[in-house]
Copies of this chain bind each other. A is one copy, B any other.
Amino acid sequence: MSVIKPDIKYLFEPRSVAVIGVSQEPGKIGYKILENMVEVGYQGKIYAVNPKGGQALGFDFLKRVEDIDGEVDVAVIAIPARFVYDTVVACAKKKIPILTIISSGFSEVGNLEEEQRVVNYAKAHNMRILGPNIFGHYSSKVSLNATFGPRDITPGNVAIITQSGALGIAMIGKTAVQNIGLSSIISVGNKTDINESDLLEYLVEQDETKIILMYVEGIQEGERLVSVLKKATRKKPVIVIKSGRSKRGAVAAASHTGSLAGSDKVFDAIMKQCGVLRAESIQEALEWSKYLSHTPVPQGPNTIIITNGGGVGVMATDACEKYDIKLYDDQEKLKETFESVAHGFGSTKNPVDITGEASKADYLKALKEALADDDIQSVIALYCETAMMNSQELTEMIDEMYGQYQAKQKPITFSVFGGEKTEAAISALHRKNVPVYRDVYDGVSCLGALHFIRIAQQIESSIPAVSEIDVERINQIIDQALGDGRTFLLAEEGQSLLSACQIPGPKGGVVQSVRAAVKLATEIGFPVVMKVVSRDILHKSDAGGVLLNLDNEEEVIDGYQAIIHSCKANVPDAVIDGIEVVEQIQAGTEVILGGRRDASFGPTLMFGLGGIYVEVMKDVAFRAVPLSENDIRAMIKEIRSYPLLLGVRGELRKDIDTIVTTLEIVSTLITSVPRITDIEINPMVVYEQGQGARAVDIRVIISDDKEDLK
């Protein structure tokens, strides 16, 4: 049976909605949903279904889904969990493409089985499910409020996707109070079918939506989400709130939802990689949403601060560093532009200080200079209350400048600071939807979000770096290990894997004669290590089968004979297959390279400096795969100890190119050999530039559990 997934757009633009489980009693969820739909003025056709019949809000309830006379795009199901399955069956007969299951009592309380039964049936019958365990959804496009939450939602351009029902309902109220308009709000609940990726794919194309805000507790289909987010953030700002940042918070999150919270550090790194803005608190997310939904993205990084107070100017400077905003620094140009406004004890440096004597006219002049200067791409305007401007002047000045800046597509953020006069101006401006902040950090944080978006939208979709690896040989190695009942590779298998990937390990080979040993050792370069090769000798060192630090031909000759002699003496019956001659690894900079099939995000890459830097200093970088070469280089640069690779204290630069190549190989491996779940090269010793590196040790964890690989 070929299944064409019904288009998710029906969720947002249904022509007709059936509410299954309506009620006659006000107070009841089924009543509330119908009431919200009717009162908000849903533009399509509504059907009300209740097995007991009844009537309310001008509807005669139909007793069965089958009784509906006409096509239905969305069925809102608000009945006890135990009746849901049969209703879904009825909906399938009616060929309803999308079901939003309000009902709780499924996986969130441990009833995974029933949820699976419902979703499997729906999938088999080409239906999509939102939920279960949700408060419903809202879509401004067709004036549909199919929730049991608050009725009044201001239509606008912010789309909210929320995994928490309680927070989602509270956010409806909160956005109304803060005058943030919504294009939609979708409660995803248990995400048994429709998840963030499905919704993002639609929302990123929907004209009504300019900003997407997600409250997330756990990730599903992480690999797909990464790919969807990367595309989405090129077009529209995506803001995510994910609690469980702290160790304890992660534990609390896991006990609270069914989904894995994952490592927050990995989550954080991957969101950044995807160009997603991560907010710490709901308040921050809403402030960002509001500002971004009204303000153009700047054309470049250069920002100036204009202030009438030195102290707040310095604070804004601090805030710019915190939120990664580049302050314009061309002193000559700044002097030229602002000389006429920074009179007296002012300053034309950035912050441009127009002093406490600045009047409305002075502000207008300074802000117009900044607006006219194409080298300045965004502006932070600060005001400390003085006797030089009254409420009305302050309001007019900000209102006028905000309008002019909007018209020229140049972002500006105002932070004003004072008593009643200032508060009166703030209220007047907020009524006009002019963003103005009470604290320097709040305003700068919003501008910082905008600059983050500017950079995210510039990221070019780059070609993933893929290396040539001998997949067939690697699969043979894995088959062998799994066949032996192991979920990890032995040291020799690890070495074979390295060689199948062309990752340089210690040079070496096996020889059967003294002459061959000398020849090989000379080729490798001294010093070398020699080890006996024999299935009969398990503990090579104990049997005298290992010699380190062989410095020249004579020592190799003597060593060869010493090993044979010792082994024969210690394990008389041993069959000696040969002697392994291996390069002795020289000291260098130790790094650690990891690939991991993350429970949330699928293939991920990890990099850090070896030993203490990773273990004690926790100095590591993460990324989701695929990655371009540039992405990998950025990842290497991200660690705090990066200067060590560049060479500190008189040392030369290390062979970063070899690290890049090896990370490309690891990312190819973890992507194209799904039975590898974890690979860690630790340490890889890196030498000076051009001198390469040696993978000293490799740990590989494998799995043939097909379920793990989904």
Question: Is A183 an interface residue when CB atoms closer than 8 A count as contact?
Answer: no
Are the CB atoms of A166 and B312 closer together than 8 Å? yes
A209-224, CB < 8 A from B: 215, 217
One complex includes copies of this chain to the number of 2
Residues of B within 8 A of A462 (CB): none
**Residues of A contacting B: mostly:** helix
Question: Distance (Å) between the CB of A297 and the closest chain B CB?
Answer: 24
Residues of B within 8 A of A252 (CB): 310, 313-314, 317, 349, 351
Question: Distance (Å) between the CB of A452 and the closest chain B CB?
Answer: 18
Question: Is A664 an interface residue when CB atoms closer than 8 A count as contact?
Answer: no
Are the CB atoms of A310 and B349 closer together than 8 Å? no
Contact with B along A164-176 (1 / 0, CB 8 A): 1111011011101
Which of B245, B311, B385, B442 is in CB contact (< 8 Å) with A243? B311
Give bound CA distance, A314 to B256, whole Å. Answer: 9
Contact with B along A230-248 (1 / 0, CB 8 A): 0000000000000111111
Which of B108, B172, B314, B327 is in CB contact (< 8 Å) with A253? B314
Are the CB atoms of A166 and B384 closer together than 8 Å? yes
Query: Among A2-10, A420-428, A579-587, which stretch is in contact with chain B?
Result: A420-428
Question: Is A419 an interface residue when CB atoms closer than 8 A count as contact?
Answer: yes
Contact with B along A313-351 (1 / 0, CB 8 A): 111011111100001000000000000000001010101
Closest to A254 in B: B314
Closest to A165 in B: B356
Question: Is A615 an interface residue when CB atoms closer than 8 A count as contact?
Answer: yes
Question: Is A57 an interface residue when CB atoms closer than 8 A count as contact?
Answer: no
Give bound CA distance, A612 to B647, whole Å. Answer: 11
Are the CB atoms of A170 and B309 closer together than 8 Å? yes
Which of B176, B217, B281, B347 is in CB contact (< 8 Å) with A255? B347
Closest to A244 in B: B314
Give bound CA distance, A257 to B313, whole Å. Answer: 12
Residues of B within 8 A of A419 (CB): 150, 170, 172-174, 176-177
Tell whether A418 pairs with B281 under 8 Å between CB atoms, given A246-B318, A246-B321, A321-B248: no
Query: Among A433-441, A531-539, A551-559, A566-574, which stretch is in contact with chain B?
Result: A433-441
Give bound CA distance, A356 to B640, whole Å. Answer: 44
Contact with B along A603-624 (1 / 0, CB 8 A): 0000000011001110100000
Residues of B within 8 A of A644 (CB): 612, 616
Question: Distance (Å) between the CB of A227 and the closest chain B CB?
Answer: 26
Residues of B within 8 A of A385 (CB): 169-170, 173
Residues of B within 8 A of A245 (CB): 318, 321
- Residue among A163, A176, A313, A315 with most chain B CB within 10 A: A315
Contact with B along A630-671 (1 / 0, CB 8 A): 000000000011011000110000000000000000000000
Number of A residues whose C-beta is below 8 Å from B?
81
Question: Is A308 an interface residue when CB atoms closer than 8 A count as contact?
Answer: yes
Are the CB atoms of A320 and B248 closer together than 8 Å? yes
Which of B256, B319, B321, B616 is in CB contact (< 8 Å) with A247? B321
Question: Is A525 an interface residue when CB atoms closer than 8 A count as contact?
Answer: no
Residues of B within 8 A of A322 (CB): 246
Are the CB atoms of A438 and B283 closer together than 8 Å? yes
Question: Distance (Å) between the CB of A389 and the closest chain B CB?
Answer: 12
Are the CB atoms of B418 and A170 closer together than 8 Å? yes
Question: Distance (Å) between the CB of A428 and the closest chain B CB?
Answer: 15
Give bound CA distance, A611 to B347, whole Å. Answer: 40
Give bound CA distance, A440 to B282, whole Å. Answer: 8
Give bound CA distance, A253 to B615, whole Å. Answer: 38
Question: Distance (Å) between the CB of A563 and the closest chain B CB?
Answer: 29
Which of B167, B281, B315 is in CB contact (< 8 Å) with A439? B281
Question: Is A417 an interface residue when CB atoms closer than 8 A count as contact?
Answer: yes
Give bound CA distance, A173 to B419, whole Å. Answer: 3
Closest to A344 in B: B109
Question: Is A87 an interface residue when CB atoms closer than 8 A count as contact?
Answer: no
Which of B244, B256, B311, B438 is in CB contact (< 8 Å) with A217? B311
Question: Is A690 an interface residue when CB atoms closer than 8 A count as contact?
Answer: no
Tell whether A441 pairs with B309 under 8 Å between CB atoms, given A320-B248, A321-B249, A419-B177: no
Are the CB atoms of B170 and A384 closer together than 8 Å? yes
Question: Distance (Å) between the CB of A648 and the closest chain B CB?
Answer: 6
Question: Distance (Å) between the CB of A200 and the closest chain B CB?
Answer: 20
- Residue among A166, A353, A438 with most chain B CB within 10 A: A166
Give bound CA distance, A620 to B339, whole Å. Answer: 42
Which of B386, B422, B641, B649 is in CB contact (< 8 Å) with A617? B641
Give bound CA distance, A215 to B311, whole Å. Answer: 9
Given A164-B309, A165-B356, A612-B641, 6 more A-B residue pairs with CB atoms under 8 Å apart are A247-B321, A249-B321, A255-B347, A257-B310, A282-B315, A616-B648
A-B contact pairs, 19 of them (CB 8 A): A163-B311, A166-B310, A170-B422, A172-B419, A176-B419, A215-B311, A243-B315, A246-B322, A248-B320, A248-B321, A252-B349, A255-B347, A256-B313, A256-B353, A281-B319, A611-B649, A612-B641, A616-B648, A617-B617
The 7 A-B residue pairs with the shortest CB-CB distance, nearest first, are A173-B419, A166-B309, A246-B321, A164-B311, A243-B314, A256-B310, A283-B439
